[in-house]
Structure 1
Amino acid sequence: MGHPSGYTGVTVALVTPLTGTGDVAVEDVGRLVATVRPYVDALLPALSTGEGWALTDRQWHDMVAATVRCREGLPVLAGIQRPTTEEAVARARTAAGLGVTAVVAPTPYGPDVTQEEMYRHYETLGGEGGLPVVVYHEREVSGNDLRPDTLRRICALPSVVAVKDSAGDPAATRALVAARPGVPVLQGLEHLLPETEGVAGHVAALANVEPALCAALHTGPVSDHTAALAAACERHGLDRPDWYRALKSELYRRGVLTTERTTGTGGVS
């Protein structure tokens, strides 16, 4: 499928603004996107920072749709956090109908999922979902881990266009980059950027509140901004299991969001 813009640079992993009754706060989404748009290369609603594991079908749909409406030309990569391939494909088809650019998804959930089943998951998601796929390489949501050889096989699938590496092992990220997997490798954890300077970009929760810093980290060198990055991660609580709550509180304080409400289901682990 090729790798158009939107799979490198800075992707903001958006929080999901909610009203007091738990609906998606559409005007807040527009306000949030407007504050980050000048600094980022793509928008990612409904992944972990967006509490994607806890969103109802309606909340997920409304958040993705609202992001598409205010993107003003930016690619929208829709997060999908569902436990089975079948459910992920269903959401991907919905996302395609909403006009998103690609989907970002982990493996199926559960420690009993085999490496071959993980490969088939991405093959099926790309083949039946109707959109390019960014592999969300992580452990917290799915409860399992892609082996390096499996991940490289997945990267060779024609529908796979990037990897968001949030597994927390900078040596493994560097090894994946060095293996030249044929797709961009994005760092999914901001605090590890100083240890993974070979990546093609990063997916940043921090960009909700510090988009200019995130842009500077991409244009680099990262070493010029290491101290500022560490301070920002600490200031905004990105090491907390409910980091998205801290981000929402700060955005509410700034007047970007009209409530601090979360889905109320706790962290992803």
Structure 2
Amino acid sequence: MRHGSGYPGVTVALVTPLTDDGDVAEEDVGRLVASVRPYVDALLPALSTGEGWALTDRQWHGMVAATAGHAAGLPVLAGIQRPTTEQAVARARTAAGLGAAAVVAPTPYGPDVTQEEMYRHYETLGREGGLPVVVYHEREVSGNDLRPDTLLRICALPSVVAVKDSAGDPAATRELVAARPGVPVLQGLEHLLPATEGVDGQVTALANVEPALCAALHTGPVSDHTAALAAACARHGLDRPDWYRALKSELCRRGVLTTERTTGTGGAP
């Protein structure tokens, strides 16, 4: 890999614990991180599982800071879900100051964003944001999609260290891996792990509640754990549009979180 390790292995896309007043519950963050730490290789606060699209600046800052404060040596990859390059760069600079090791960000929002604008977005974010960049390849948040040729161009940028592939097309993921993009390709949807065994790692919501299973899926072979994976995805409601609510409910039941509060904005855009 050209750009170093690029965070292969298991990265947990953390939920955002909130108090009844809507602030980040720092003690809950500490318990959550402690519960997953033995099994994961990196921590990702404030992306989609963390309701990143809906967090206020205060909540986003609080979650990234709390995660970094409890990381105990694990790298923190700060999620950024903002509609413009300028806003993404501003949050990246803040994340750098909070101790994040990298940022994870989608393209700018909107179906009219061109492929060249997507490329320039990542080029600018890497150059001006102050941190390495993991490309968040998805459709639901940004409302657009990177073409394979554009994604490969982006992977060649010196600041790009990995791709979190959450676009939902396992054939396209396998093609990306086969193209040898020069950076790790990380599966962002746990239920697609059996169909993309060639990936370098995973960035998954399931690791909030089943970190040992996620670690076993990474060390593989995935086929040994396919039934357990399917059962866990169903049990924890990961096919729901508000999957993070189900995760918070389970974590609250276990005593990891003290409230099930969410931002109250419904499912991801």
Residue 73 of structure 2 corresponds to 73
Residue 60 of structure 2 corresponds to 60
Alignment coverage as a number of residue pairs: 269
> SS state of the match for residue 237, structure 2?
coil
Structure 1 unaligned residues grouped into runs of 5+ = none
CA distance in 1 between counterparts of 2:169 and 2:78 reads 24
Residue 187 of structure 1 and its aligned partner are, at CA, apart by 0.2
Structure 2 unaligned residues grouped into runs of 5+ = none
Asked whether the 8 Å contact 1:12–1:43 carries over to 2, the reply is: yes
CA distance in 2 between counterparts of 1:69 and 1:40 reads 17
Residue 183 of structure 1 corresponds to 183
Asked whether the 8 Å contact 2:2–2:182 carries over to 1, the reply is: no
CA distance in 1 between counterparts of 2:131 and 2:46 reads 16
4+ residue segments displaced more than 3 Å:
1-6
Residue 23 of structure 2 corresponds to 23
CA distance in 1 between counterparts of 2:40 and 2:3 reads 17
Residue 38 of structure 1 corresponds to 38
User: Is residue 2:153 matched to residue 1:153?
Assistant: yes
> SS state of the match for residue 27, structure 1?
helix
CA distance in 1 between counterparts of 2:136 and 2:150 reads 13
What are the equivalent positions in structure 2 for 1:110-121 lying under 5 Å apart? 110-121=110-121
Asked whether the 8 Å contact 2:15–2:46 carries over to 1, the reply is: yes
Residue 6 of structure 1 and its aligned partner are, at CA, apart by 5.8
CA distance in 2 between counterparts of 1:208 and 1:195 reads 22
Residue 2 of structure 1 and its aligned partner are, at CA, apart by 5.4
Write out per-residue CA displacement over residues 136-185 of structure 1, whole angstroms, 9 at most, x where no aligned residue.
Answer: 00000000000000000000000000000000000000000000000000
User: Is residue 2:220 matched to residue 1:224?
Assistant: no
Residue 124 of structure 1 corresponds to 124
> SS state of the match for residue 134, structure 1?
strand
Asked whether the 8 Å contact 2:22–2:263 carries over to 1, the reply is: yes
Residue 268 of structure 1 and its aligned partner are, at CA, apart by 1.1
CA distance in 1 between counterparts of 2:250 and 2:2 reads 38
CA distance in 1 between counterparts of 2:142 and 2:240 reads 19
CA distance in 2 between counterparts of 1:81 and 1:268 reads 11
CA distance in 2 between counterparts of 1:16 and 1:2 reads 32
User: Is residue 2:251 matched to residue 1:247?
Assistant: no
- For the structure 1 residues 124 and 144, does the alpha-carbon distance in structure 2 shift closer, same or farther, using more than 3 Å as the test? same
Asked whether the 8 Å contact 1:77–1:101 carries over to 2, the reply is: yes
Q: CA RMSD in A?
A: 1.0
Asked whether the 8 Å contact 2:6–2:184 carries over to 1, the reply is: no
Write out per-residue CA displacement over residues 197-246 of structure 1, whole angstroms, 9 at most, x where no aligned residue.
Answer: 00000001000000000000000000000000000000000000000000
CA distance in 1 between counterparts of 2:3 and 2:261 reads 36
CA distance in 2 between counterparts of 1:153 and 1:206 reads 30
User: Is residue 2:88 matched to residue 1:104?
Assistant: no
Asked whether the 8 Å contact 1:6–1:75 carries over to 2, the reply is: no
AA aligned opposite 2:188? G
Residue 212 of structure 2 corresponds to 212
> SS state of the match for residue 104, structure 2?
strand
Asked whether the 8 Å contact 1:6–1:74 carries over to 2, the reply is: no
CA distance in 2 between counterparts of 1:11 and 1:130 reads 21
Residue 8 of structure 2 corresponds to 8
- Percent sequence identity over aligned pairs: 90
TM-score, with length taken from structure 1: 0.99
Residue 49 of structure 1 and its aligned partner are, at CA, apart by 0.2
TM-score, with length taken from structure 2: 0.99
Asked whether the 8 Å contact 2:187–2:203 carries over to 1, the reply is: yes
Residue 50 of structure 1 corresponds to 50
Residue 236 of structure 1 corresponds to 236
